[in-house]
Structure formats: structure tokens, C-alpha cells
Chains A and B, each alone.
Chain A
């Protein structure tokens, strides 16, 4: 036995040295090819993702109207303005409400839909198809037909309200309801994503867990709480991070549904950045707001992952 081991080791050592040499030779040979293959993508990433990040930070220290040849250095003036501006505070508040509403809405409803659709019933493929379909549609087009549906005089929502025995308010022109409406449309459009992800997660939970729990006399609710929810933990964390990032990027729905109004009631951070940059031509302020957004998103994602790691077990 010992002899065998020794001979094996002996025969392995010599080729290993050769292999290493061979690998080194190839590493030298192949590096031009490697860099050639990754260069196009890398160059585009540097020019259109990393450089803008730096340039944006630089712009945030300037006062500039995007046109005139001189940019005036103002230091942290743009940040100070944002900090003291009551409109910007409202924008941050709107963003928080919008994010909580859309992330909470899509995840809770997505889980509910997934539980309903995770059943051995005929025709479920079609049902899943219908739930996911809105997710692939253009947000601008979706927003246009929701304006029609939300019309208090002749829209679908007014019809539903009258079935329920009430009258539909003028959603999009009401300062507080406008945000509710935008969140509702966003949830309708995007809930299919979390539904599909949760469905995939549900189908990976081993059935034996449920069978054992049933034998032990656990009811439906107990099985859900002690098996389903913990098993879905990692997926919930994934959805939380991805949905938050997506929510921060929502633009087309807001632009078409309310255009940020009424009176800034639905102006979120991204919408504000676009408005400051491309409508008010205030590059410095837009850039500073973009830095704020980036920082906010980074902190939230980091917190979510950190808190998640503590709560979620991955085994």
C-alpha cells in the first residue's frame, strides 16, 4: 500500500512540474488573445459606466447649464441646496414611499400569487402566462392604457368601484392618491417577476419536509410558517435587493401617468434628476442628486444583504 502511494506520488510529481511549465507557457502565449476578447466590452464599460461615475461626481461640484463653455466651481453648494430644499425633502420622502410600496407590494403579492399557482390544477400554465405577461411589456405603453383605466368617468377602475358600491376618485389628479395609483400600476406590471421567482423557489422545497410535518400533525399555517417561509429565505433576500434597485429606476410609468405631479406628489429621485438635468438645465444639481441616489441605494442594498445574512441560512 505504502509503496503504491509512493510510486503514484512519484509519477504525479514529474508531470506536475511539466504541466506548470506548460501552463506558464500558455499564460504567456494566450494573454494577448484574452485581452483582445475582453477588450470591447471592457472599453465600453469604462467609457459608459465607470468614467461617467467619476465625471458625475465632478459635475456635482459645479454650477453649469449644460450649454455655456464655463462651468463654475461651487464646492458642496449643490449638496447644501438639496439638503435645505423643502422640495427635495419631499422628493426623498416620495422615493421612500414609492420604494416601500412597490417592493412590498410586488413581493407580498408575488408570494401570494405563487402560492395560489403552485397547485396541481389544469390550465395553470395559462394562468402563469397571464400573470407574467405584463412584466415584458413597455412601461410607457402600460402607463398610457392605465390612464384610460383610471379615468373616474368611464374607466375600468370606476366600473370596479361601482361594483363594490363606491365611486372612483380622480386618482391621477389627487395629490395623495396619485402616488397610490402609480404604485398600483407598478405592482400590476412587475408582480409577475417575483411570482415566477417564488414559484421556482416553491418547487425546489423537498416534499418530504411537508410530509413529515403533516405526520407530526402540523396544520396548513404551521407548515407555511415553519417550512415554506424559511426555505424561501434566500430567494426573498434576492428579490428584496433586486426589486429595490428596479424600483429606484422607475421612470416611464411616472412620466406618462402623472409627469411627477400633481405638485411634485409623485416626483421620485430619478424623476427629479431627469427634470433638473434635461428640463431645468441644472447639471450640477442633477449630478448631486444622482450621487445622493447612488449613496442611498448602496446603503440600502448593503443593509439588506447584511441583515439578510444574519437572518437567512443558506443550507
Chain B
């Protein structure tokens, strides 16, 4: 009797393991494909059935991709744009949420409603008018054109506000009694107590801006102002499909930064997104 149950349990465990393996293969195989493809010779790439392990890693593919298009410039553009936008958003979100929770004033409900309602407006609808505004300001092919129009935060204000509401009132009152002003309170009490939420915020917005494609595509038209995602699409166009090695190498270069962010911050991403859904 117990033996039979043990057998059944072993089979169930084995089956589960098999299913997990299947899921990992489905999701992981394309990543393996692009990583190894970047190191294949052209001959290996065009062979069928495919070569699974490149015989001699072609690191030259990366050099070729780097030289075919101004990749260095794309990276600088992406880094400046992403960090600039995220820094502004963090600042705006912290200040807005702090004001909404800890500063006494009329009009809080209205401000909160205006911020949250912005979530309902898809970027698609604002695309053309925003392009026209940026063009009128002379901001085409500039960092301010890439950064300022996307730097307003709605979701982040919501995220911080929800968290601030849970902070222990006693602690805040104590700090206030000790003569802590608003800025001091924000810097020395609220921000240190919000570190996990801040990291979640940073990761979510970092990924969103690094990967953004449509806005940089519209607001820049000179090659030296393109960002990494737009640059990779361009690399694919100029190299055609004759030269897959460098194209895949360029693709890998575009993927690596966010993969690194992901590996470092996985815990926060999972918590932030999973938890956000449950609280929302």
C-alpha cells in the first residue's frame, strides 16, 4: 500500500520535473539561439540542420557590428536618456507622493485624480501632438526631446503614495517633534524607509525607458541621435539578411544591459510586479 503510494508520488514528481523542463526549454531556447548565433560563422548560420555549438567562437562578429553602425553613440544616447528620465521621474514621484501624504493642503484629491487619470491615456494618442510640440521647441535630435516629454510619472506616484500611507505615524511624529522639517523628514525618514519600493520603481522605469522604441524613433532622425533599440533595428536593415553573425552580435549587445539589471534586481522585479497586481 505505502509502496504503491510512494511510486505514485515519484511518478508525479517526475512528471512535474518534466513539465518544468519543457517550460524552461520553450522559454530558454531562443535565448540560447541568439547567444550562440552571435558567435557562429556565416557558414554555420546558413547550415541546416543547425549547428548547436559554434566550433570556433567568432568574437569578431561583435567588432563588426560595433563598426557597421555607431553603436558606441547609441549606447551613450540610451544611457543618458534612460538615466535622465528615470532620475527626473524618481524625483517627481517622491516629491508628489510626499506632498500627497504628508503635506496639508486643499486640492489633494484633485491632484491625485489628475495624476492617476493620466494612466488611462495611451501614449499612442499623444504621439503626434507631442512630436509637433517637440518639433516646435526645436528639440528634435536632442536629449531634452528624448527625456522631458516622457518624464512625467503617474504609476510611480501611486506606488509611492500607497507605500507612504503604511509608514508608522509615530516615527514620523517623533521626527517632527525633534525639529525635522519637511525636507529633512523626506530625506532622513521617508526615503530610508522606502528603499525596497524605490528599487522596484527604478527597475520598472529603467527597463521601460531603455526598451522604448517608438518615441526615440519619432523624435530623432539623425543616426547619431538614435538609441540602442532603434539602432539595432537599423543594423538589421543595413546588414540585410546577408550577414547574420554581426546582426545577432549587435542584438546580444542590446539585450545584455537589461539582462544584467534583471539578474541583479530579480527579487525586486518579481516582488514589485507580482505584489503590485495583488495590491492594485
Contacts and interface: CB of A to CB of B under 8 A. Distances in A.
A273 B124 contact: yes
Contacts of A23: 104
Interface in B16-47: 16-17, 19-20, 23-24, 26-31, 33-34, 37, 45-47
B258 interface: yes
Interface string B74-106: 000000000000000001110110111001111
Decide if the interface of chain B is mainly helix, strand, loop or mixed: helix
A27 B104 contact: yes
A138 B229 contact: yes
A40 to B, nearest CB: 5
Contacts of A40: 91-92, 95
Interface in A223-256: 235, 238-239, 245, 248-249, 251-252, 255-256
B189 to A, nearest CB: 16
B68 to A, nearest CB: 13
A134 to B, nearest CB: 7
Interface stretch (B54-62, B164-172, B193-201, B269-277): B269-277
Interface string A142-158: 11111111010111101
Contact of B20 (A127, A136, A290): A127
A154 B50 contact: yes
A293 B93 contact: no
Contact of A144 (B24, B111, B125, B232): B232
Contacts of A50: 114, 118, 121
Contacts of B49: 159, 162
B106 A53 contact: no
A136 B262 contact: yes
B20 A274 contact: no
Contacts of B207: 136
B101 to A, nearest CB: 11
Interface residues of A, number: 101
B46 A197 contact: no
A140 interface: yes
Contact of A59 (B31, B105, B128): B128
Contacts of B63: none
Interface in A38-52: 38, 40-42, 44-45, 47-52
**Residue with the highest number of chain B CB atoms closer than 10 Å, among A201, A238, A248, A252:** A252
Q: Chain B contact residues (Cβ within 8 angstroms of A): what range? A: 35 or more
A53 B126 contact: yes
B123 interface: yes
A126 B23 CA distance: 12
Contacts, number: 291
B133 interface: yes
Contacts of A252: 211, 213-214, 229, 233
Contact of B259 (A66, A136, A283): A136
B246 to A, nearest CB: 11
B266 A129 contact: yes
B248 interface: yes
Contacts of A293: 122, 124-125
Contact of A287 (B46, B128, B228): B128
A42 B115 contact: yes
Given A30-B105, A116-B19, A127-B20, A140 B244 contact: no
Contact of A290 (B26, B99, B128): B128
A192 B46 CA distance: 31
A297 B124 CA distance: 11
A159 B167 CA distance: 55
Given A34-B107, A37-B103, A143-B233, 15 more contacts: A33-B105, A34-B99, A34-B108, A42-B96, A49-B152, A138-B211, A139-B229, A149-B33, A153-B48, A154-B47, A159-B48, A191-B27, A193-B273, A256-B236, A273-B127
Interface of A: 23, 26-27, 29-31, 33-35, 37-38, 40-42, 44-45, 47-53, 55-56, 59, 66, 113, 116-117, 119, 121, 123-124, 126-134, 136-149, 151, 153-156, 158-159, 162, 188, 191-193, 196-197, 199-201, 204, 235, 238-239, 245, 248-249, 251-252, 255-256, 269-270, 273-274, 277-278, 283, 286-287, 290-291, 293-294, 297-298, 301
21 contacts: A34-B105, A34-B107, A48-B126, A48-B148, A48-B152, A52-B133, A132-B270, A137-B259, A139-B213, A139-B229, A143-B233, A156-B50, A159-B48, A188-B30, A239-B277, A245-B122, A249-B123, A249-B124, A252-B213, A252-B214, A269-B124
A-B CB proximity, top 5 nearest: A200-B274, A34-B105, A52-B129, A44-B152, A37-B99
